[in-house]
Each structure stands twice: as structure tokens, then as C-alpha cells.
Amino acid sequence: MATANPPHEPDAHDHQDCIAKALALAERLCDERGARFTPLRRRVLELIWSSHESAKAYDLLEALKDFDCSAKPATIYRALDFLLEQGLIHRVESLNAYVGCNVPEQRHELLLLICERCHTVEERPAPELMAAAAREIGVAGFAPSRKTFEVHGLCAGCAGVG
């Protein structure tokens, strides 16, 4: 999932803190919105945030079996739908997978940088890209329902940059 510090630098990133903050924020937002953040939904979100890589639904289902041995595909998809509706996760369309959202307080446009080597996914706001895309979309007279850009390549750590 998204991170400002590449996972190649373990001293620079406390991932347990990352997970704790994501779960606490999700709990607060769901409470404010009157949305039921059930233990199962919480566990699915925790599994998604367990790394900065995207997570596939069936991998989540398998991991969820320790929490709920009766979990079925419908169980995981209902939880994912809830988390998507609440803006707590994003769907990575090109990978048919999910990542945690860094800014779940507000709906936003999305640039996902997907590393083909270490499989991390970094969420970035990219305001200049979004503005350029909005101009081009406007010229076309197109009315987008959402805007997500996915870029595949090598993260700075894997490319040896930075």
C-alpha cells in the first residue's frame, strides 16, 4: 500500500504504526458516518494493510480463515464492497486487487505507482497530472465518474534511485 518511505528502508518505516493508524482512522470515520465497522470488516482492512503490496480477494479470503473458518467468497466481497464504499481502500484495476487508502477522509482522484519487482503500490495525489487529465477530459466533453491512473514500473528502491 502507499508509503512515503520505500519498504527497502526498514528503519525509515514503522509498518505496525502504519496499520494501527489506518485501523484507528477507519474506526473513527465509520463511527462518524454511522457505518458498521464490524470485527470482520476490521480484520479484512487489517489484512489489506498488512503490507504495502496489493491484496487479491482470494488471498484475503484464505488469510481470513484463521479469523472466520466459515468465510466464503461472498463474505470477503461484501467486506471489500463496504471498505470501498467508505473510501478506506482502493481497487487496483490492472491487478484485480486492493490497497489501503492513505486519505480516507475524502474522496479523491488517484495515481497508483505499482512496482513490478517488489510489488509495492504507492498512492500519490499528483495534482498536476489530475489537472491535465481534467482539461483533456473536458475538451472531450466526457463526464467521468471516477479517475484513477495506474503506472507499472520500478519503485525508487528497486530502480536504485534515491
Angle between helices 39-48 and 15-33 (to 10 degrees): 140
Q: What does residue 84 show for φ and ψ, rounded to 5 degrees?
A: -65, -45
158 is in an annotated binding site: yes
Determine if residue 69 is labeled as part of a ligand binding site: no
- Residue 30, annotated as binding a ligand: no
**Measuring CA to CA, how many Å separate 109 from each of 56, 90, 95, 127, 145?**
22, 11, 18, 9, 10
Is 118 part of any known ligand binding site?
A: yes
Query: Do the Cβ atoms of 89 and 48 come closer than 8 Å?
Result: yes
Write out the binding residues for Zn(2+): 115, 118, 155, 158
Write out the binding residues: 115, 118, 155, 158
